[in-house]
A and B are shown apart, each in its own frame.
Chain A
Amino acid sequence: DSGVTQTPKHLITATGQRVTLRCSPRSGDLSVYWYQQSLDQGLQFLIQYYNGEERAKGNILERFSAQQFPDLHSELNLSSLELGDSALYFCASSVAGTGTEAFFGQGTRLTVV
């Protein structure tokens, strides 16, 4: 158990809908990272938050957004969902923003039908 908790574990929704994925980092970790794992694109870095502020942005679509709350948990919001958004979404956390080990959660499997 990495100590990173993601909910829900599975999510099935229809095209055009909006969903929110939640991540609770390990106790004491200030950084949260979001990744998308799909069959065709592999594992792609989406976005990083550090202590409530956006720190780095990767291949995140404009339809997707994230935030980190004062209690350090993070949410990834996916809107106007398309079939191609079906993927496993991972959250990871680390103590600081650089040079420290990142621990991954078990992921949320999103299926868009």
Chain B
Amino acid sequence: GEDVEQSLFLSVREGDSSVINCTYTDSSSTYLYWYKQEPGAGLQLLTYIFSNMDMKQDQRLTVLLNKKDKHLSLRIADTQTGDSAIYFCAESIRGYGGSQGNLIFGKGTKLSVKP
């Protein structure tokens, strides 16, 4: 079945780069997403990548997609303490044509940024 896996924790120092990794199973996923959840808050869409792209850059965020290995990563450059949050990788559910609302989420990676 469809599944999204990601490591549960990542700790980095302020100013370093953070790399959060994710693997997914459904090769027919049209879009892959990264969401951020801060304590007590909802989910915020950070970025997404269309499945025919290898890379997408948006300011401090770089998404890399290796479709052959079904591996997605999110790199945050110059990580700040305000980046501390849980980051979720998600893929669109098979059969829903890439709808950005019908998603399968990973369990989330808790990023801790030490000053």
Residues of A within 8 A of B101 (CB): 31, 33, 48, 92-94, 102
A14 within 8 A of B: no
Q: Do A58 and B102 contact each other (CB < 8 Å), given the known contacts A90-B43, A106-B42? A: yes
Q: Could you tell me if A99 and B102 are in contact, using CB atoms closer than 8 angstroms?
A: no
Q: Could you tell me if A42 and B106 are in contact, using CB atoms closer than 8 angstroms?
A: yes
Q: Do A33 and B42 contact each other (CB < 8 Å), given the known contacts A58-B93, A99-B97? A: no
Interface of A with B (CB < 8 Å)?
2, 4, 31, 33, 42-45, 48, 56, 58, 90, 92-94, 97-107
Q: Quick one: closest A residue to B35, CB to CB?
A: A104
Q: 7 pairs across A/B with beta carbons < 8 Å? A: A44-B105, A45-B93, A48-B102, A99-B97, A102-B99, A104-B35, A105-B42
Complex: how many Å from CA A91 to CA B94? 20
Interface size class of B (residues with CB under 8 A): 20 to 34
Complex: how many Å from CA A93 to CA B43? 12
Shortest distance between the CB of A9 and any CB in chain B (Å): 9
Q: Could you tell me if B97 and A45 are in contact, using CB atoms closer than 8 angstroms?
A: no
Q: Name B45's contact: one of A90, A102, A105 (CB within 8 Å).
A: A102
Complex: how many Å from CA A105 to CA B100? 15
Complex: how many Å from CA A25 to CA B106? 25
Shortest distance between the CB of A6 and any CB in chain B (Å): 8
Q: Quick one: closest B residue to A32, CB to CB?
A: B101
